[in-house]
Structures are given as C-alpha cells and as structure tokens.
Amino acid sequence: MAEGGTRVIASPLRRSVGLGALVWLSMIAVDFLIHAGILASLYTQRSPFLLPPELAFALIPLGYLSFLLLAILIVWLAGALKVANTRSGFLLGLKLGALIWGAFVMGLASISTASSALLLGWFAGQTLEMGIGGAVAGYGLQVARLRPLALRIGLLLLASVILTILLQSLGFAPAAQTR
C-alpha cells in the first residue's frame, strides 16, 4: 500500500517476471516427478550418451536453468497471442513443447547413441512440462493477483517431491546413487 491507503499496482515487467518465475517453477516440479520418479530407470542404464550419474546430478541446476528460457518463451508468446485462460495456455504449451522437443529428439536420434526409450521419454516428458507451463501462463494472464497461483505452484512442488520420494521408497523408481 502506498501513502493514503492506495494500492500500488505491479508494473507489467514485474508481473511478467513473477509469472515467468511461476511458469519456470511449475516446469521444474513436473520435470522432477517425471525424471527422478517415472523415468528414473532410463538414467540408471549405462550409455555412452549419458554422463555418469554423479556428474549429471551435479549439473542438474544447469538443466533447470535452461527451462527458464523456455518459461520466458511461453510467457512472451502467451502474452503476445493474448492467451487468457488455462486451457488455451495448456494447448499453446503442448504444441510448442511437441514442436521444440520433437525437433530436438529427432536431431539427437540422427547423431547420438541415445536409446529410443530415452528419446521418447524426453519427448513426452518435456512436452507435458511445456503444457503445464503454458497452463500456468494462461491462468496467470487472466487473474488479477499472482499470489494464489504462487501458493498452488508451491503445493505442486511439494507434491512432486513427496510423490517422487514415495515412488523411490516403494521401489517403483531407482533412487539416485553416486559411487
């Protein structure tokens, strides 16, 4: 609140940065569940394509930082295309994800030793992450305040961590191990 009880409205840039951060965190939450939980067994298989687990684990922040660029892209496109609801944001993210990750996976298939299962897992997982990011962007662009959305994203992160630990504890996903 400013002097006299008037409410200060966030600048469009500040709001876009906040929404971009929420889109990014939602993508990280989904990525963590998918790759540390559902697809974790794909990373335990030795491959000349994949880094050793301890090095890959150390470089996770770099991978998550790459999602920030995709989150910026989603928020920018959603705003430019006047996406103003969760469904149209999800569809935008899903289409964008399928195009980006489809191209990436086809390129990797043509020059690497990555297994078909790994490439398919990346395509499906990353496409879904972009869809979720798009849904968050679409929702965020239609609401006046981002605080309730931030709470939901926080709960999504917590649920993702809990579900991943549960999957690993029950033996449905291998836990990360370093030598």
Residue 33 forms part of a structural domain: yes
Q: Is residue 2 part of a domain?
A: no
Q: How far is CA 21 from CA 28, 32, 82, 106, in A?
A: 10, 16, 19, 29
Query: How far, in Å, CA of 68 to CA of 97, rounded?
Result: 14
Indicate the number of domains in the chain. 1
Within-domain flag for 5: no
Domain assignment present for residue 99? The answer is: yes
Is 125 within the bounds of a domain?
yes
Phi and psi angles of residue 6, each rounded to the nearest 5 degrees, phi first: -75, 150
Containing structural domain, residue 138 = 11-169
Model pTM score = 0.90
- pLDDT digit of tens for each residue in the chain (179 aa)? 444 555 546 788 999 999 999 999 999 999 999 999 999 988 888 888 999 888 988 999 999 999 999 999 999 999 999 998 999 999 999 999 999 999 999 999 999 999 999 999 999 999 999 999 999 999 999 999 999 999 999 999 999 999 999 999 999 888 765 54
Tell me what pLDDT residue 9 has: 60
* Residue 179, domain member (yes or no): no
Q: What is the pLDDT of residue 2?
A: 44
* Assigned domain for 151 exists: yes
- Specify if 1 maps to a domain: no
Q: In the 8-state DSSP scheme, what is residue 3?
A: G
The pLDDT value recorded for residue 139 is 98
